[in-house]
A and B are shown apart, each in its own frame.
Chain A
Amino acid sequence: MDIKELLKLSLRAITANKLRSFLTTLGIVIGVFSIIVLVSIGSGINSYVTTQISSLGSNIFEVLPGGEGNVFGGILSANLKLQDSENVQRNLTGIGKVTPLLQQAAIIKYKNIKIKDAFVGGVSYQYPEVVTSLKMKYGIFFTKSQQLSGAPTVVLGYKINEKFFKNQNSVGNKIYVGEKQYRIVGVADKTGTALGTFDRDNIVYIPVEQAQSQFGTSYIRQIVVSANSKELMPLAIKRVEATLLKRLTKDDFSIETAESISETITNVTNVLSLALGGIAAISLLVGGIGVANIMLVSVTERTREIGLRKALGAKRSDILKQFLLESVLISVTGGLIGIALGIAASLIIARLLVSTVTPWSVFIAFGFSVLVGVIFGMAPAIRASKLNPIEALRYE
């Protein structure tokens, strides 16, 4: 029996029960659709985080409190002091620039406008030299003398200036950070980047000493180091370690490069992608069971037809192929529709949030739908092919 004839037969059987075929196909559509969308979201988050981190620069690294491998626990440890940052800077002369960082959420206020979700970053005047992606829009970053004088000066992040001053030059104005008033000396340009919940445009920068007294702490959150070149990174890391080990132990701090951070986060998001894909795969499995179910019904309904075909000379393999092709056609149709809808939805999500359609997820989804058709169509098709023609012909 040639493939053209088989295709004709399967199409006729599928179109004979349009609603039933549609509903069965829908199960596969939903399964394939969710695989593509969820995997796209997963890999979207992944590439978003990776770009964000690499935008910081490849010669930047951070010293965090808490030992190695203690990514999140480090947030809770407090043992890095301002003095450590200064010691590090002294030993990195000609090799790199250093800034301490003490960031915390705080309420900031201008006249009657209040921003509750802003971050306050306590840093040194060297911050723009360390984090070179930060460019000034208006004014300047606070200077060494301004920092040392203890004058309450502040640099606004792009979004803060947008909310308070509608993007106008606000240098010279005064805002409140908590209960204390600060004079604006500069406004940063849009960086368009964020690190987790830490939006680098939704922030104000104040001298680190001010931040310490404002938040009532004698510690700092991290030390950010920028080596003068990528080649100097290993030397810089070595010097930083040596400097810190004079006062601290190995378990008190850890060094994270942009690469190691992005590696850690990529690991997390990969697990996330897999988990999302796994959940979606379950829905495809359910769709497959729907195919098996409807094929069993179809075989039962067409018992007489199968008996007749066998009496007229159909071999077992002819009947097997006929029913297998039918279930594969249903699954593949569902797969193709699911892929089209999934890609469309992923592209829409990409505009609103993050999502990247990965070719492998499309291939896997398509492969899965073919596989579902074969696997779940196999049992009903075998059952059909094994029917005894006499009994099948007698079947009412």
Chain B
Amino acid sequence: MPNNDYIIEIKDVTKIYKADGVETIALNGINLKLKRGDFLAITGRSGSGKSTLMHIIGLLDKPTSGVYFLNGTDVSKFDEDKLALLRNKSLGFVFQSFNLLQRTTAVENVCLPAVYAGIPENERMQKARVLLDELGLLEQSNKKPNQMSGGQQQRVAIARALINDPSIILADEPTGNLDTKSGKDVMKILKSLNKNGKTIILITHEQDIAMQAKKILHLEDGKIN
């Protein structure tokens, strides 16, 4: 039975990719439990399965077998629209390459998940400005991504991940494209979000970044090591 103490509970999750008749086992019997307010770093070399695990946790992919409880609900059998809704409300994504929409201002980028949540324009713009202000980007509100530094862009992306106030933040190599100082800033933000109660899952291959998390999960060949 699912335990409501856990925000994320993954049981015996396996992911097998089939291509041209060849089976690749990306994840092999993963078990994982996270409580609210946890800060987990998933590490491993490329091909270890950490991205696949991230996609499954992020509801972008479904496991081949096993179950996934999110907030005590089995989401393994959810259809696409239900998953989209959950991604929108419960998860915030931060990507290595920022993934901001070009030709779109910072504040509008931040608003994007709120648009899909159906929040009225005035309300979401106000929320977005507050978030940008907290991240020290108020002056960049009307700038477009190509007018901002990498660090600024990643902070815009973090604001975007926060706009629907999700309980979980998924960060996939968030410092990977940043210089040391900006990388430190981003980690500082993630840590303070964690202090304020957000559950953070961080994917990284850098040991010193992983060390800043409360827990570390090391993947090798699709298994927890």
Contacts and interface: CB of A to CB of B under 8 A. Distances in A.
B88 A312 contact: yes
Interface string B95-121: 100010101100000001101111001
Most buried by A among B60, B84, B99: B84
A12 B103 contact: yes
Interface string B45-88: 00000000001001011000000000000000000110011011
Given A1-B116, A389-B60, A390-B61, A313 B84 contact: yes
A309 interface: yes
Given A12-B103, A305-B101, A315 B60 contact: no
B101 A313 contact: no
A16 B103 contact: yes
B60 A312 contact: no
A308 B95 CA distance: 10
B160 interface: yes
A311 B55 CA distance: 10
A325 to B, nearest CB: 15
A190 interface: no
A395 to B, nearest CB: 11
A309 B116 CA distance: 9
Given A1-B116, A1-B118, A390-B60, A313 B103 contact: no
B81 A315 contact: yes
A304 B116 contact: no
Contact of B81 (A12, A16, A309, A316): A316
Contacts of B99: 304, 308, 393
A316 B88 CA distance: 13
A89 B101 CA distance: 89
Interface residues of A, number: 22
Contacts of A311: 58, 60, 87, 93
A390 B160 CA distance: 19
Interface string A154-187: 0000000000000000000000000000000000
Contacts of A316: 80-81, 84
A314 interface: yes
Interface string A304-338: 11001111111111100000000000000000000
Interface string A1-25: 1101100000010001000000000
Nearest to B164: A313
Contacts of B85: 313, 315
Interface in A370-396: 389-390, 393
A2 B120 CA distance: 9
Contact of B115 (A5, A317, A389): A5
A304 B99 CA distance: 8
Interface in B112-143: 112-113, 115-118, 121
Given A16-B103, A308-B99, A390-B55, A314 B116 contact: yes
B213 to A, nearest CB: 22
B81 A313 contact: no
A309 to B, nearest CB: 7
Contacts of A2: 118
28 contacts: A1-B115, A1-B118, A4-B121, A5-B121, A12-B103, A12-B104, A16-B103, A305-B101, A308-B99, A308-B101, A309-B112, A309-B116, A311-B58, A312-B88, A312-B113, A312-B116, A313-B87, A313-B89, A313-B113, A313-B116, A314-B84, A315-B81, A315-B85, A316-B84, A318-B116, A389-B60, A390-B60, A393-B95
Interface of B: 55, 58, 60-61, 80-81, 84-85, 87-89, 93, 95, 99, 101, 103-104, 112-113, 115-118, 121, 160, 164
Given A312-B112, A314-B116, A315-B116, 16 more contacts: A1-B115, A1-B116, A12-B104, A304-B99, A305-B101, A311-B60, A311-B93, A312-B87, A312-B93, A315-B80, A315-B81, A315-B84, A316-B80, A390-B55, A393-B95, A393-B99
